[in-house]
Structure formats: C-alpha cells, structure tokens
Amino acid sequence: MPTVLIAGASRGIGLELARQYAADGWHVIGTRRNARGESALRSAGAEPRRLDVSDASQFEALAASLAGSSLDLFIHSAGIYGPDTSGLAQPDEQAFEEIMRVNVLAAMCSMSSIGPLVARAGGRMVYLSSSMGSIAQMNGTYGWLYRTSKAALNAALKCTAGELGRRGVTCLALHPGWVRTDMGGPNASIDVVTSVTGMRRVIAAARKKDNGRFLDYTGAEIPW
Ligand SMILES: NC(=O)c1ccc[n+]([C@@H]2O[C@H](COP(=O)([O-])OP(=O)(O)OC[C@H]3O[C@@H](n4cnc5c(N)ncnc54)[C@H](OP(=O)(O)O)[C@@H]3O)[C@@H](O)[C@H]2O)c1
C-alpha cells in the first residue's frame, strides 16, 4: 500500500487530497493543527498528525517520528493568502513575516526534513504553488505579498528539484486552479473535487523527466 503525507490537510484542497487518496487505497497521513482537523481527517480515512507548519522544529519532529518509513508521495498544501492589498501599499511587517513563514520557510523545511524519506522510495514531492507566483505572468500588484511568497516557493522548489532529483525524487510545483475553498472563495471557477482529481492524474503521470516542472491541475505547463 503506497503512503502519502499531506501537510495542511484539515480542510480545503488538502482534505480532499486526503479523502481521494484514502478512497483509492493509499495509507494517508494528514497533518492538522487543531481538533476540528482531527475529526475531518479521521472521517476521510486518514491518519491525523499534529503539525503547525509555521514552527520549523515541528517538521523535524514529524520526520523523526516517521524515521524508518519511506514515503511514496509528499504533498505540501498548507498555505495562507495574507492581507488583500492593492497598489503599492507598504506590506505590514507582521503579515509579511507570517506569509513567508507559512508559504516559504515551512516548504523549505519540509524539503530538507521530509525529502530524505521520499528519496528512500524514489517518490514525488509536490508543492501547491499558484499561477499568481509566476513571474512571467505577473501583471498587477493585487495580492503582491501572496504572489511574492509563491514565487519564492517556486525558487525553493526549483533548487530542491536539482538536489533531490539526483536521489531519484520527482519534484513538482502545481497550480490547483482557482478553487472554491475558504481561500479561493465561492466565486472561484472550479470545485475542489475537480481540482484534486486533476492534480492526482498529473501526479500519477509524473516521471523523472518531469522533475522541476510547474504545471496546473490539467497538466498544462505554467511559465516560471
Ligand atoms: N483555493 C485556490 O483557489 C488556490 C489557488 C492557487 C493556489 N492555492 C494553494 O493551494 C493550497 C491549499 O489552498 P486551499 O484553497 O485549500 O486553502 P484553505 O481552504 O484556506 O486551507 C488552507 C490549509 O492550510 C492550512 N494551514 C494554514 N496555515 C497553517 C499552519 N501554520 N500550519 C498548518 N497548517 C496550516 C490550514 O489549516 P487550518 O485549518 O489549521 O487553518 C488549511 O488546512 C495553498 O497553498 C494555496 O496557496 C489555492
């Protein structure tokens, strides 16, 4: 039975990933940081673990608790949008610190602590990025903190793909589409089932030659 670890699986896209992989017969370890996430994960058929991704030491503890296991797949879904800003509003320092900690530092910590467990299985490391983090497609300042954090995540992923690729891991940055979740809001273009079904297909089709690519949930390439 293949094993997937999903960081940030208490709700939204992460929870639907947990539900679909569990329904497909995978051993699913899903992380959450509060009690509500615990029951949602159990109902989805996943094994809940506690993880606040904003605390770097918790990734090391999680990896230590999994020492001896190998992971076929790791998916980093945890993320925040931060404040809605427009124009060149000076970023609030506390908001900057929080979004960089959750969207970038946490991802980098997972690359170093969880990467070796995935390398053991020659598995896949998947990071939920966003087309808003594509520098090539940036055309405005709205959400500039979020955009900047996802561009930084993409840079970290690209560096890691080189390193972990030599150890047999396939790393992907995935854009899930504009999805109706708490983050995406009710007017988003697709539902969470469509997004996750598509991403699972893209992940399953990924081969070593795809290491370091930036794709959307349909498999279309997104320019960095
Ligand atoms: N929805 C979209 O349209 C869209 C588009 C592009 C990219 N994305 C990306 O897709 C990913 C998932 O988005 P979503 O729509 O599912 O968002 P969501 O519904 O807002 O869910 C966010 C998830 O991240 C977790 N999280 C946030 N901060 C955390 C922390 N410090 N420690 C642990 N978990 C934390 C939340 O846990 P709690 O329940 O504990 O808060 C929750 O499980 C994000 O990385 C997002 O940037 C989403």
Residue 221 located in a structural domain: no
In the reported structure, the alpha carbon of residue 15 is separated from the centroid of ligand 1 by a whole-number distance in angstroms of 10
Residue 224, domain member (yes or no): no
- Measured by CA distance, the residue closest to atom 17 of ligand 1 is 183
pLDDT < 50 regions, the chain: none
Q: Whose CA is nearest to atom 1 of ligand 1?
A: 184
30 touches ligand 1 (CB under 6 Å): no
Query: In sequence order, which residues have a C-beta less than 8 Å from that of residue 137 and are 6 or more positions away?
Result: 131, 222, 223
Whether the CB of 182 sits within 6 Å of ligand 1: yes
Does ligand 1 lie within 6 Å of residue 54's CB atom?
A: yes
What does the pLDDT look like over 21-77, one tens digit per residue?
999 999 999 999 988 899 999 999 999 999 999 998 999 999 999 988 889 999 999
Total domains present in the chain: 1
Ligand 1 touching residue 33 (CB < 6 A):
yes
| Confidence at residue 120, expressed as pLDDT on a 0 to 100 scale | 95
User: In this structure, what token pair is assigned to residue 216?
Assistant: 């959307």
pLDDT at position 44? 97
The pTM for the full model equals: 0.98
- Please give the Cα distance from 4 to 37 (Å, whole number): 17
The CATH number that applies at residue 205 is: 3.40.50.720
Residue 222 included in any domain: no
Q: Nearest-CA neighbor of 44 among 7, 74, 14?
A: 14
Check pocket membership of 117 for ligand 1, CB cut-off 6 A: no
Domain span including residue 15: 3-216
Q: Is residue 65 part of a domain?
A: yes
Nearest to 72 by CA among 8, 24, 130, 33: 24
- What CA–CA distance (Å, rounded) separates 98 from 103? 8
Q: What is the pLDDT of residue 17?
A: 98
Measured between alpha carbons, how far is residue 149 from residues 82, 100, 167, 174, 186 in Å? 10, 6, 27, 15, 23
Question: What is the Å distance from ligand 1's center to 10 Cα?
Answer: 9
Residue 223 lies in a domain: no
In ligand 1, which atom is closest to the CA atom of 80? 27
> Which of 75, 148, 181, 199 has most ligand 1 atoms within 8 Å of CB, for mutation?
181
Token reading at 95 = 């908001």
Give the model's pLDDT for residue 140: 85
Return d(Cα 50, Cα 32) in angstroms, integer: 5
Q: Measured in angstroms, how far is the CA atom of residue 79 from the centroid of ligand 1? A: 4
Q: Is residue 210 part of a domain?
A: yes
DSSP-derived 3-state class of residue 179: strand
Distance 8 CA to ligand 1 centre (A): 6
Neighbours of 91 (CB within 10 A): 16
Provide the 10 A C-beta neighbour count for residue 197.
14
CA distance 2 to 11: 22
Q: How far apart are CA 57 and CA 115, in angstroms?
A: 15
Pair type for strands 170-175 and 47-50: unpaired
Residue 211: what pLDDT? Answer: 98
